[in-house]
Amino acid sequence: MAVIQRIEELKSGALSAVAAAGSTAALEDVRVRFLGRSAEITEIKKSIGSLSPEDRKEVGRAANLASREIEEALRARTNELAAGEREARLRTEAVDVTLPGVPFPKGHLHPSMRVIDDVVDFFVGLGYRVAEGPEVETDYYNFTALNIPPEHPARSEHDTFFLDEGLVLRTHTSPVQIRTMLAQEPPVYVVCPGRTYRRDSDPTHTPMFHQIEGLAVDRGLTLGHLKGTLAAMARHVFGEELKVRLRPGYFQFTEPSVEMDLSCFVCGGNDPNCTLCKGAGWLEMLGAGMVDPAVLEEVGYDPEEYTGFAFGMGPDRMAMVKYGIPDLRLFFEGDLRFLRQF
Ligand code: DAH
């Protein structure tokens, strides 16, 4: 019968296509071509219904046998090829665990950040909280609330960057004192590190620099507490042997105000030709004082009940001194040849 003949032809065509296929993807094509929905054998099976009962049986059996044989051949060949493909993939994906790794460039902290971290760690160890405030500050928080009213000459010392009406780039971190006191009741113990801005540029001034503000308000705080706290901080950052001294100073928001000096840690005050202190024996370090009662009143604290001390220091300057760097501008140029030395 012609149909049986045709089925045999299709079968041997399919078997040689299976044998010739070189990949599992090619085998899938063979499957679709010979056993798929529009393959000829499939068509033959669909048309069986229209044959005579005897033919139906014979053609049906031949078609089923042929399909089964092709499927069997496909399965066998698929297994064979898949094993080879897996092996090839494993071979190309193999990782040589003895190869040296890719070295990552190692980063490190900027000298200013090392001093900031050191100072902040010291105060956190004493139980102080870290507080932050905005760098774009209102005139009120930066000046007025700190007892520097509009038109006061103290304002002109700040070389302020003015922004829109009533806004400035903060010239110090002292406004964070005000924000902190307005947000909570005493006792207050905070340190406030951050960026500050002034119109100034020379070897020891940059338009952006850092400050760390500190504020303690409680019952019974005295200048003695201020001195003890700052002396311990200075020894933590610069070395145990150091001495500190307080000199009279002037700030609008503290009364009395002091400036703190550090005994020179290069010469110990014994070398008139010392390159660091120039023979003075002392290094200027920070400004501080007892919080002015006018400032406490401004934030609604009762100055009869509470006293406080505050201080403000420049960690960039401290890093210059600590690491012997002559020009502050080097800190902010981002030159890796400079930064990699720390
Ligand atoms: N804000 C001052 C400045 O930038 C530094 C300062 C002095 C802060 C005395 C204080 C302080 O909290 O009590 O020059």
Lowest model confidence (mean pLDDT) among 111-115, 126-130, 270-274, 300-304:
270-274
Instruction: Provide mean pLDDT across the span 180-186.
Output: 97
Overall fold of domain 111-339:
BirA Bifunctional Protein; domain 2 (3.30.930)
Ligand 1 center to 5 CA (angstroms): 105
Q: Which two tokens stand for residue 172?
A: 């110090």
| Cα 200 from Cα 160, distance rounded (Å) | 9
The pLDDT score that the predictor gives to residue 191 is: 98
Under 8 Å between Cβ of 338 and 215: no
Most confident of 17-21, 208-212, 271-275: 208-212
Report which secondary-structure segment, H or E, holds 248.
Answer: strand 244-249
Q: Whose CA is nearest to atom 8 of ligand 1?
A: 312
Instruction: Provide mean pLDDT across the span 191-220.
Output: 94
- Given a cut of 80, is residue 276 above it in pLDDT? no
Q: Whose CA is nearest to atom 5 of ligand 1?
A: 312
Query: Quick one: CA dihedral 313, 279, 200, 258, positive or negative?
Result: positive
pTM of the model as a whole: 0.70
Q: Whose CA is nearest to atom 12 of ligand 1?
A: 311
Q: Which two tokens stand for residue 209?
A: 């620099």
The pLDDT score that the predictor gives to residue 213 is: 98
The pLDDT score that the predictor gives to residue 342 is: 82
Under 8 Å between Cβ of 210 and 112: yes
Q: Does the Cβ of 288 fall within 6 Å of ligand 1?
A: yes
- 98 CB burial (10 A radius; 0-12, 13-18, 19+): exposed
Q: Mind listing the pLDDT tens digit for each residue in 87-104?
A: 999 999 988 889 998 988
Q: Whose CA is nearest to atom 7 of ligand 1?
A: 287
Instruction: Provide mean pLDDT across the span 197-214.
Output: 92
| Cα 275 from Cα 264, distance rounded (Å) | 10
Amino acid 207 reads P
- Given a cut of 90, is residue 313 above it in pLDDT? yes
> Which residue, among 204, 153, 152, has the nearest Cα to 325 in the 3D structure?
204
Instruction: Provide mean pLDDT across the span 133-151.
Output: 96
Lowest model confidence (mean pLDDT) among 25-29, 130-134, 226-230:
25-29
Q: Which residue has the higher pLDDT, 146 or 277?
A: 146
Ligand 1 center to 313 CA (angstroms): 7
The pLDDT score that the predictor gives to residue 176 is: 98
Q: Whose CA is nearest to atom 2 of ligand 1?
A: 312
Query: What is the DSSP secondary structure assignment for residue 205, as one 8-state letter?
Result: B
Q: Which residues contact 43 (CB under 8 A, 6 or more apart)?
A: none
The pLDDT score that the predictor gives to residue 154 is: 85
Cβ atoms within 10 Å, residue 85:
13
* C-alpha distances out from residue 205 to 124, 159, 311, 315, Å: 28, 11, 20, 12
Q: Where residue 301 falls among pLDDT bands split at 50, 70, 90?
A: very high
Half-sphere CA count of 77, side-chain side, radius 13 A: 23
Q: Does the Cβ of 290 fall within 6 Å of ligand 1?
A: no
Lowest model confidence (mean pLDDT) among 14-18, 48-52, 274-278:
274-278
Instruction: Provide mean pLDDT across the span 17-38.
Output: 90
Ligand 1 center to 89 CA (angstroms): 68
Q: Where residue 67 falls among pLDDT bands split at 50, 70, 90?
A: very high
| Cα 309 from Cα 292, distance rounded (Å) | 9
Most confident of 33-47, 53-67, 120-134: 120-134
Which atom from ligand 1 is nearest to the alpha carbon of 309?
13
* C-alpha distances out from residue 237 to 7, 113, 167, 296, 321, Å: 94, 13, 35, 30, 11
State the average pLDDT for the chain. 92
- Given a cut of 80, is residue 1 above it in pLDDT? no
User: Look-up: residue for tokens 């520097």?
Assistant: 148
Q: Does the Cβ of 179 fall within 6 Å of ligand 1?
A: no
* DSSP SS3 for 307: strand
Which atom from ligand 1 is nearest to the alpha carbon of 213?
12
Which atom from ligand 1 is nearest to the alpha carbon of 254?
13
Q: Does the Cβ of 190 fall within 6 Å of ligand 1?
A: no
Rg over alpha carbons for the chain, rounded to the nearest Å, is 42
- Given a cut of 80, is residue 187 above it in pLDDT? yes
